[in-house]
Amino acid sequence: MIEFKDAAVVAPDSGVPILEPTTLTLTEDRVSIIGANGSGKSTLARLINGLVLPVSGSVEVDGLDTQKHGAQVRRKVGYLFTDASAQLIMPTAIEDVALSLRRVIKNRRERDDAALAALKEIGLASKADVSVNALSGGQRQLLALAGVLACTPSIVVADEPTTLLDLRWRAHVGALLRSLPLQVIEVTHDLDSAARAERTLVVDLGRVVFDGDPREAVQLYRDLMFGRASQGATA
Ligand SMILES: Nc1ncnc2c1ncn2[C@@H]1O[C@H](COP(=O)(O)OP(=O)(O)OP(=O)(O)O)[C@@H](O)[C@H]1O
């Protein structure tokens, strides 16, 4: 369970508000977050695993405060970035997954076996010894997901995980995320994907302006965007 209690974020340098005080309890297995560029979606998502900390209020995951128990929270919450390259560090696929496991499995051989099993699970076993740089964008995203899942999180926060992928990979990674037997919070500009969630948050100008039925959320977001576009056209 993810609980925001009046959690607010400001820009560290300027003190400009990025996220207004936000109170939410997220228990659904599939939650999507949509909104315009720069509206505050990533900030909201990053609060969940403590990548961003609130300046006031709190965020708790299964009762653990992200401010006080960051390491424990990060073990529970896996984070998938838009650009997988941002989280792939090691030269080869198997080494990268093994790196993710270094705190969980101390024995080297057992760690390599677990890394290979994670690659198999996601359909990347044949790429185990391939350079991370030689993988396609879609394969890199799968590899990043393998690293996240190998650590057995109970929640995955995915920040626009399919934005850089072509249609085929988008469908593949999207289906895979939907099939995971854990809570998935997805920030997305893919409104079809957003509408498949159980609950959708619409973020606008640093505020959650809608929280509820995904189809209604998508409609409200379209109205917001097109309303704004037509205001801009007449201005
Ligand atoms: N560390 C920071 N310092 C200053 N401003 C920041 C910081 N982090 C985010 N912002 C600003 O806060 C706003 C919200 O950023 P955020 O990344 O959460 O938006 P977003 O909705 O995820 O955008 P996008 O869809 O483009 O990824 C933006 O205007 C961004 O420039």
pLDDT tens digit sequence for 204-225: 999 999 999 999 999 999 999 9
Ligand 1 mutation target, pool 32, 33, 41, most atoms within 8 A of CB: 41
Question: Could you report the per-residue pLDDT of 25-63, keeping only the tens digit for each?
Answer: 999 999 999 999 999 999 999 999 999 999 999 999 999
What is the Cα–Cα distance from 141 to 82, expressed in whole angstroms?
Answer: 8
Spacing, Cα 222 to ligand 1 middle (Å): 21
35 lines ligand 1 (CB under 6 A): yes
Identify which of 113, 166, 178 has the alpha carbon closest to the alpha carbon of residue 141.
166
Q: How confident is the model at residue 235 (pLDDT cuts 50, 70, 90)?
A: very low
Domain housing 218: 2-234
Q: How confident is the model at residue 18 (pLDDT cuts 50, 70, 90)?
A: very high
φ, ψ of residue 63 to 5 degrees: the values are: 85, -5
205 lines ligand 1 (CB under 6 A): no
Domain count for the chain, please give it. Answer: 1
Output the six-digit token pair for 51: 């990548």
In SS3 terms, the chain reads as CEEEEEEEEECCCCCCEEEEEEEEEECCCEEEEEECCCCCHHHHHHHHCCCCCCCEEEEEECCEECCCCHHHHHHHEEEECCCHHHHCCCCEHHHHHHHHCCCCCCCHHHHHHHHHHHHHHHCCHHHCCCEHHHCCHHHHHHHHHHHHHHCCCCEEEEECCCCCCCHHHHHHHHHHHHHCCCEEEEECCCHHHHHCCCEEEEEECCEEEEEECHHHHHHHHHHHHHHHHHHHHHC
11 lines ligand 1 (CB under 6 A): yes
Q: Is the dihedral of CA 153, 82, 16, 234 positive or negative?
A: negative
The residue whose CA has the least distance to atom 1 of ligand 1 is 11
The residue whose CA has the least distance to atom 13 of ligand 1 is 38
**Does residue 233 carry a pLDDT above 60?**
no
Average pLDDT over residues 117-126: 92
Question: Could you report the per-residue pLDDT of 136-195, keeping only the tens digit for each?
Answer: 989 999 999 999 999 999 999 999 999 888 899 889 989 999 999 999 999 999 999 999
Output the six-digit token pair for 126: 């044949």
42 lines ligand 1 (CB under 6 A): yes
pLDDT for 227 equals 82
pLDDT for 41 equals 97
Question: Could you report the per-residue pLDDT of 65-89, keeping only the tens digit for each?
Answer: 999 999 999 999 999 999 998 889 8
Average pLDDT over residues 85-101: 92
The residue whose CA has the least distance to atom 24 of ligand 1 is 37
The residue whose CA has the least distance to atom 2 of ligand 1 is 11
What is the domain-level CATH number for residue 116?
A: 3.40.50.300
pLDDT for 85 equals 87
